[in-house]
Amino acid sequence: MARDLNKVSIIGRLGADPEFRYTAAGTPVATFRVATSRQWRDPNGHLHEETEWFHVVAWNRLAEICHQYLSRGARVYIEGRLQTRTWEDAQSGQQRSRVEVIAQDMILLESRESRSDDPP
Protein backbone atom coordinates (compact mmCIF):
# COMPACT_ATOMS: atom_id res chain seq x y z
CA MET A 1 0.00 0.00 0.00
CA ALA A 2 1.39 3.40 -1.00
CA ARG A 3 1.72 6.08 1.65
CA ASP A 4 1.58 9.76 0.83
CA LEU A 5 3.76 12.38 2.48
CA ASN A 6 3.02 16.06 3.01
CA LYS A 7 6.02 17.51 4.82
CA VAL A 8 7.91 20.77 4.44
CA SER A 9 10.96 22.20 6.22
CA ILE A 10 12.04 25.82 5.85
CA ILE A 11 14.74 27.99 7.39
CA GLY A 12 14.31 31.72 7.04
CA ARG A 13 13.55 35.02 8.74
CA LEU A 14 10.27 36.46 9.99
CA GLY A 15 9.05 39.46 8.03
CA ALA A 16 7.03 40.81 10.98
CA ASP A 17 6.06 39.87 14.51
CA PRO A 18 3.59 36.97 14.65
CA GLU A 19 -0.10 37.84 14.80
CA PHE A 20 -1.67 36.03 17.75
CA ARG A 21 -5.34 35.47 18.52
CA TYR A 22 -7.82 32.97 19.87
CA THR A 23 -10.51 31.35 17.74
CA ALA A 24 -14.16 31.57 18.81
CA ALA A 25 -13.67 28.16 20.43
CA GLY A 26 -10.71 29.49 22.45
CA THR A 27 -7.93 27.81 20.46
CA PRO A 28 -4.69 29.83 20.24
CA VAL A 29 -3.42 30.54 16.72
CA ALA A 30 -0.36 32.45 15.52
CA THR A 31 0.25 33.48 11.93
CA PHE A 32 3.43 34.90 10.44
CA ARG A 33 5.45 35.01 7.22
CA VAL A 34 8.91 33.56 6.74
CA ALA A 35 11.26 34.67 3.95
CA THR A 36 13.74 32.26 2.44
CA SER A 37 16.37 33.42 -0.04
CA ARG A 38 18.51 31.66 -2.57
CA GLN A 39 21.42 33.02 -4.55
CA TRP A 40 22.90 31.92 -7.84
CA ARG A 41 25.25 33.15 -10.53
CA ASP A 42 24.18 33.40 -14.14
CA PRO A 43 26.48 32.32 -17.01
CA ASN A 44 27.96 35.85 -17.04
CA GLY A 45 28.93 35.59 -13.38
CA HIS A 46 26.32 38.06 -12.10
CA LEU A 47 24.94 37.24 -8.67
CA HIS A 48 21.15 36.99 -8.39
CA GLU A 49 18.96 36.57 -5.34
CA GLU A 50 15.38 35.38 -5.11
CA THR A 51 13.20 35.57 -2.01
CA GLU A 52 10.22 33.30 -1.41
CA TRP A 53 7.64 34.14 1.27
CA PHE A 54 5.79 31.43 3.18
CA HIS A 55 2.61 31.94 5.21
CA VAL A 56 2.92 29.94 8.44
CA VAL A 57 0.13 29.02 10.86
CA ALA A 58 0.79 27.58 14.32
CA TRP A 59 -1.92 26.21 16.59
CA ASN A 60 -2.38 25.50 20.30
CA ARG A 61 0.77 25.43 22.48
CA LEU A 62 3.07 25.98 19.49
CA ALA A 63 1.12 29.18 18.70
CA GLU A 64 1.72 30.43 22.24
CA ILE A 65 5.44 29.62 21.99
CA CYS A 66 5.74 31.40 18.63
CA HIS A 67 3.94 34.44 20.06
CA GLN A 68 6.24 34.49 23.09
CA TYR A 69 9.61 33.96 21.42
CA LEU A 70 9.42 35.04 17.76
CA SER A 71 9.76 38.56 16.44
CA ARG A 72 10.51 40.33 13.18
CA GLY A 73 13.93 39.36 11.83
CA ALA A 74 14.25 36.17 13.89
CA ARG A 75 15.80 33.23 12.04
CA VAL A 76 13.71 30.08 12.46
CA TYR A 77 13.43 26.47 11.39
CA ILE A 78 9.82 25.48 10.68
CA GLU A 79 8.65 21.96 9.99
CA GLY A 80 5.08 21.21 9.04
CA ARG A 81 2.71 20.36 6.24
CA LEU A 82 1.24 22.32 3.35
CA GLN A 83 -2.46 23.11 3.34
CA THR A 84 -4.54 25.18 0.93
CA ARG A 85 -7.08 27.46 2.59
CA THR A 86 -9.97 28.84 0.54
CA TRP A 87 -12.33 31.68 1.50
CA GLU A 88 -14.62 34.27 -0.04
CA ASP A 89 -13.28 37.82 -0.06
CA ALA A 90 -15.73 39.96 1.94
CA GLN A 91 -15.19 43.07 -0.22
CA SER A 92 -15.15 41.61 -3.73
CA GLY A 93 -17.09 38.39 -3.18
CA GLN A 94 -14.40 36.48 -5.11
CA GLN A 95 -13.00 33.13 -4.07
CA ARG A 96 -9.46 33.41 -2.71
CA SER A 97 -6.97 30.73 -1.76
CA ARG A 98 -3.58 30.54 -0.13
CA VAL A 99 -1.11 27.73 0.48
CA GLU A 100 0.00 27.78 4.12
CA VAL A 101 2.57 25.89 6.14
CA ILE A 102 0.80 24.37 9.13
CA ALA A 103 3.64 24.35 11.65
CA GLN A 104 4.23 21.20 13.66
CA ASP A 105 7.65 22.16 15.03
CA MET A 106 9.62 25.39 15.40
CA ILE A 107 13.22 26.00 16.43
CA LEU A 108 14.44 29.53 17.07
CA LEU A 109 17.87 29.60 15.40
CA GLU A 110 18.74 33.24 15.98
CA SER A 111 16.72 36.01 17.55
CA ARG A 112 16.76 39.53 16.23
CA GLU A 113 18.43 40.69 19.45
CA SER A 114 21.32 38.24 19.05
CA ARG A 115 22.20 39.87 15.70
CA SER A 116 22.48 43.34 17.20
CA ASP A 117 25.90 44.97 17.00
CA ASP A 118 25.02 47.16 19.98
CA PRO A 119 26.44 46.08 23.35
CA PRO A 120 23.80 45.18 25.97
Q: State pTM to two decimals.
A: 0.83
Pick the range with the lowest mean pLDDT from 28-42, 47-61, 87-101: 87-101
Strands (E), 1-120: 8-14, 19-22, 28-41, 47-59, 75-88, 95-110
Q: Label residues 2-40 b or e (16+ Cβ within 10 Å = b).
A: eeeeeebebebbbeebbebeeeeeeebbbbbbbeeeeee
89 — pLDDT class (breaks 50, 70, 90): confident
- Percent of the chain whose predicted confidence (pLDDT) is above 90: 82
pLDDT at 100 over 60: yes
Q: Give the chain's radius of gyration (CA, Å).
A: 17
Domain boundary assignment for the chain: 8-111
pLDDT at 115 over 90: no
Look at residue 1 in the predicted model and tell me its pLDDT.
66
User: Domain 8-111's class?
Assistant: mainly beta
What is the distance between the alpha carbons of residues 22 and 43, in angstroms, rounded to a whole number?
Answer: 50
Look at residue 52 in the predicted model and tell me its pLDDT.
97
Closest CA to 33 of 58, 50, 8, 7: 58
Q: Is the dihedral of CA 69, 117, 56, 4 positive or negative?
A: negative
Look at residue 57 in the predicted model and tell me its pLDDT.
98
